[in-house]
Chains A and B, each alone.
Chain A
Amino acid sequence: MRLFFSGIRKLYRRPATFVTFGLLVGLIVLILILAGATASRTVGTGSASGQSSRAAIKDLLTFPGAYDRMLSVVVSIGGLFGMIYGAAIAGSEWSWGTLKSAVARGESRVRYMLLSYASIGLMIAIGIVVVFVIADVAAVASASLAGISTSGLSDTSTLSDLPERLLKGWVAVMEETALGFAIATLARSQLAGIGAGIAFYFGEGFASLLLPDIVKFMPFSVASAAVSTGSGSGLGGGASATASLPADQALVMVFVWLIGCLVVVSLFSDRAEITG
């Protein structure tokens, strides 16, 4: 537990934690406010495109369905940020040489890396809840701006399902974070991990147009599908595969990817020669 709490303290004091969180919040709020502003401009316009975009925005911002949309947004954009964050943390342990110091003190490499990941998990859990709340507040503000009713905000059946859905969302983001964590561990570099992760994210998005039956099993697609309710669409690059698995199957695949990434991290960390 010493190592886990140490990991939490390190992440709490790390500027990257708050930069990542701030960027994610800023981006989501900006998207939602822009959506509200766009919808308010299309009120009363007779054009088909204006009506179409207003309908899409209404679908996005109408509660209680907006809770699901916000979760999808958080998972899809948050997944990308989570992956970058995971890559930054894992990569820096190698490039700064701090893993080396711990190993030279007799610490287990595997334990060190997995507990680092676990501490990221706690930070992401807190982050998801906070970002989700902020996204909902922004959605309410945006809906008000667009003149969309928020009467479904207190829908009890949706609210009672939220903890389970947030838990699934957390698992999905953790899977994407594990991917970044694994790539950076293999690359032993923050930048390489972040770069490869972003390439993976957008590459999966493009590949979904050509190879949808394969891409639907890929990490970002399964993460998105695991929290999808089947209605409407979220936002995001790699997560928006044209074909997707049913939520239950996607959740299983999320666990497969997550565990697979952690196994790779463990094996590589245990066997790697720590130099430099």
Chain B
Amino acid sequence: MIGTGGVRMGGAGVSATSGAGGASGTDDLALATRGLRKSYGSRRALDGLDLSVPAGVVYGFLGPNGAGKTTTMRVLTGLIHADGGTVEVLGKPFRRGDRHRLFEVGALIESPTFYPYLSARANLRELAASGAPVPSKRIEELLDLVGLCDRANDKVQNYSMGMKQRLGIAAALLSDPKLLLLDEPANGLDPAGIVAMRDTLKTLASQGKTVFVSSHLLAEVQVMADVVGIIAAGKLVREGPLKELLSMQGVIKVRVRPNLVDGAIAALAPLAKAERLTETDRDEGWLSVHLGTNRAEEVNQKLAGAGIYASGLESGTDLEMLFLELTGGQGPSSSEGEFVGLGSPNGAQNGGAPAGKGTAA
């Protein structure tokens, strides 16, 4: 069983676990996949994906374009069938034909879909006619929740993208699901809508429901998620509680006079192995030390002990850094290609300082 205290590192079929738990059982998981495989022709969309989503958390499901996120969501909702591997939903196997498992699952996959000629209220009513029975008052509650009461009788074809998205979230919540699967739920929402959605999802998780969110908005996931799973090329590359992942992936960035860079490297060597200590920009005197962010003072102390005084010291990390580090090397393996970009004006690539969350000096 994997509790919320463990971090799993994927890649090459390895599943190392640190912290509490670590076995491969799935008893307390709201959702688990084991060795999930799916190919489209010769292209592998999922290549032995192992996900462990604890119950009662907001789980951020991340990955570059074409990593297999939407394919995973489709498999989890029975829209497509995996070529191999197993899925457990709410502690029970979910195989082809086990459609009743989905009665306790709400989903918003890709863009929300509705009958354009029907109103929001009518769309929810007709959707409620499928799957698990839904009390009629639930529809009014949800329209109120997503702020569409005033426009509930308008045809959906006249809705903005954000309104459709809100209606899609309402549709996903129709059956008061124990497990909620949301694919890019913030799409089209305005800032206030994003905040409201985030609060709603956190509230749902606090009520014991599990929220599985696929998103490209890393900052949003960082604020919202308790646990994250990062996939690349159809495989899990990292999974665990967000706080633990970020602290493990911490970076302390130090700026010294350029002529003291070598001395600083020598002074910091005992703290970090060679591969964890990198020059970010020698001309500017920036060094990056991959250490827990709580060790910034120690870094400063070592430098001072060597007679080198840092002119800048930033500690911290964010999900974006972690994500890029874990998936940035994927490049061409992404089935949807890669957005190369224009590069920074001075020609450096990602050469800036990490997005520091705190400044120690």
**Which A residues are within 8 Å of any B CB, using their own CB?**
2-3, 5-6, 9-10, 13-15, 96-98, 100-108, 112, 273-276
Stretch of B97-105, B248-256, B303-311, B332-340 contacting A (4+ beta carbons < 8 Å)? B97-105
Per-residue interface assignment for chain B, residues 64 to 89, with 1 indicating a CB less than 8 Å from any chain A CB and 0 otherwise = 00000000001001111100000000
Report B108 CB to chain A, min CB distance, Å.
9
Chain A residues with CB below 8 A from B131, complex form = 102, 105-107
Chain B residues with CB below 8 A from A100, complex form = 79, 109, 113
A3 x B130 contact (CB < 8 A): yes
Which single member of B116, B129, B132 contacts A5 (CB below 8 Å)?
Answer: B129
Report A46 CB to chain B, min CB distance, Å.
56
Chain A residues with CB below 8 A from B175, complex form = 105
Give Cα distance in the complex from A118 to B204, angstroms. 38
Chain A residues with CB below 8 A from B133, complex form = 2
A106 x B101 contact (CB < 8 A): yes
Q: What are 22 A-B interface contacts by the 8 Å CB criterion?
A: A3-B129, A6-B126, A6-B129, A6-B130, A9-B122, A10-B115, A13-B117, A96-B115, A97-B111, A98-B115, A102-B127, A103-B99, A104-B77, A104-B78, A104-B107, A105-B103, A105-B106, A105-B132, A107-B99, A273-B74, A274-B79, A275-B74
A106 x B115 contact (CB < 8 A): no
Give Cα distance in the complex from A15 to B157, angstroms. 13
Report B316 CB to chain A, min CB distance, Å.
39
Number of A-B contacts (CB under 8 A): 90
Chain A residues with CB below 8 A from B118, complex form = 10, 13
B61 at the interface (CB under 8 A from A): no
Q: A103-B79, A105-B107 are in contact. List 6 more A-B contacts (CB 8 A).
A: A3-B129, A9-B125, A13-B117, A100-B109, A108-B99, A274-B74
Per-residue interface assignment for chain B, residues 125 to 147, with 1 indicating a CB less than 8 Å from any chain A CB and 0 otherwise = 11101111100000000000000
Which single member of A14, A101, A108, A273 contacts B127 (CB below 8 Å)?
Answer: A101
Which single member of A9, A15, A275 contacts B79 (CB below 8 Å)?
Answer: A275
Give Cα distance in the complex from A267 to B122, angstroms. 30
Give Cα distance in the complex from A275 to B77, angstroms. 11
Chain A residues with CB below 8 A from B107, complex form = 104-105
Report B156 CB to chain A, min CB distance, Å.
10
The 10 closest A-B pairs by CB, nearest first: A97-B113, A105-B131, A106-B102, A6-B129, A107-B130, A102-B130, A104-B77, A274-B79, A273-B80, A104-B107
Report A275 CB to chain B, min CB distance, Å.
7
Give Cα distance in the complex from A273 to B79, angstroms. 6
Give Cα distance in the complex from A34 to B135, angstroms. 54
The contact size tier of chain B is: 35 or more
A9 x B126 contact (CB < 8 A): yes
Chain A residues with CB below 8 A from B77, complex form = 103-104
Give Cα distance in the complex from A6 to B115, angstroms. 12
Give Cα distance in the complex from A275 to B114, angstroms. 15
Give Cα distance in the complex from A73 to B157, angstroms. 36
Per-residue interface assignment for chain B, residues 164 to 175, with 1 indicating a CB less than 8 Å from any chain A CB and 0 otherwise = 000000010011
Chain A residues with CB below 8 A from B113, complex form = 96-98, 100-101
Chain A residues with CB below 8 A from B132, complex form = 105-106
Chain A residues with CB below 8 A from B74, complex form = 273-275
Give Cα distance in the complex from A105 to B111, angstroms. 16
Report B285 CB to chain A, min CB distance, Å.
51
Chain A residues with CB below 8 A from B116, complex form = 96
Give Cα distance in the complex from A15 to B117, angstroms. 8
Give Cα distance in the complex from A144 to B101, angstroms. 65
Report B106 CB to chain A, min CB distance, Å.
8
Report A174 CB to chain B, min CB distance, Å.
23
Nearest B residue to A112, CB-CB: B130
A103 x B129 contact (CB < 8 A): no
A2 x B79 contact (CB < 8 A): no
Give Cα distance in the complex from A97 to B81, angstroms. 18
Chain A residues with CB below 8 A from B79, complex form = 100, 103-104, 273-275
Give Cα distance in the complex from A65 to B116, angstroms. 44
A2 x B80 contact (CB < 8 A): no
Give Cα distance in the complex from A103 to B107, angstroms. 10
Nearest A residue to B119, CB-CB: A13
Give Cα distance in the complex from A6 to B131, angstroms. 12
Give Cα distance in the complex from A3 to B111, angstroms. 23
Report B43 CB to chain A, min CB distance, Å.
14
Give Cα distance in the complex from A179 to B47, angstroms. 40
Give Cα distance in the complex from A275 to B40, angstroms. 12
Report A19 CB to chain B, min CB distance, Å.
11
Give Cα distance in the complex from A2 to B174, angstroms. 16
A2 x B102 contact (CB < 8 A): no
Chain A residues with CB below 8 A from B117, complex form = 13-15
Nearest B residue to A99, CB-CB: B113
Give Cα distance in the complex from A273 to B102, angstroms. 17
Per-residue interface assignment for chain B, residues 148 to 180, with 1 indicating a CB less than 8 Å from any chain A CB and 0 otherwise = 000000000000000000000001001100000
